[in-house]
Each structure stands twice: as C-alpha cells, then as structure tokens.
Amino acid sequence: MKTRCFMWLLCSWAIVQNGLAQERPSQCVAAFVGKQMVVDAYTTTGKCRLPDTATGELAVYTVDLSPTENKAVDKVDFQIAIRDGATKTLTMFSGRTYRQVPVQSVLAKCQKGDHIVLLTVDSRYALPHHEILVQ
C-alpha cells in the first residue's frame, strides 16, 4: 500500500512539474512601427525610442537578422502595458491580445517619459527589447 501511494505521489509530482515547466524562448522577435524596427540596434545595448508623434501600426514580428538588414517575417500575438515615467507604475493598456494596433491609440494614453511595454503571449518568443521610451 505504501509503495502504491508513493508511486502515485511521484507520478503526480512529475505530471505537475512537466505541466508547469515553461518552454524556453527559441525564436527572436522585435517591435515594428510600419516597416521600421523600433530598436536602434538588435544588440544587448540596443535602445527603443518612439516620438510621441509617431504614426503607423505597432506590431511584433519574428525577425530575420542579418548584417545588412533586419527583416520582419511573421506577426506574433502580444499585449501592451504602459510604465508611468514618474511613478514607474505598470498599467495594462487593455486586456486584449493584439497582432497589430495603431500606435497613435497607444501613444494617446502616454506622456513623454513613459514606456510602452510589450508582452509576448507565447513563451517560444524572445523579445529582449520590450520597453519603448516615449519621447
């Protein structure tokens, strides 16, 4: 009886651990407004800045990175939050998941110094440049 109980607990633990394990990101993605990648350099020191007058569609794409160009490939789902520049408070832009959104509608809820924070909804995607400074 003890052996059966122990085996049941061990199997249950393994199932829970397997279900809770997060898949590691395996594909790079980047934010774009229109056809322009938002980050100035897809490196560890790259910066994301956007003027408060920007126009176009904000989207997150898988990217084909090369020394000569960074090409958007496929759109991925994302969510948006806004980090207040003064208080650092993080607030959801909306509860929706997007493939693209007019950047003007996001900027309308921002002030200079705020950050637009992009969240991937699929753990397969790595989005290292996820905070965009509004200038």
Tell me if 1 is assigned to some domain.
no
Tell me if 12 is assigned to some domain.
no
Tell me if 30 is assigned to some domain.
yes
Pairing of strands 70-76, 57-65: antiparallel
Q: What is the pLDDT of residues 97-121, one digit of tens each?
A: 999 999 999 999 999 999 999 999 9
Tell me if 80 is assigned to some domain.
yes
Tell me if 83 is assigned to some domain.
yes
| Residue 82, domain extent | 23-134
What is the number of structural domains in the chain?
1
CB 76 within 8 A of CB 125: yes
Tell me if 74 is assigned to some domain.
yes
Of 4 and 21, more confident: 21
Tell me if 8 is assigned to some domain.
no
Tell me if 13 is assigned to some domain.
no
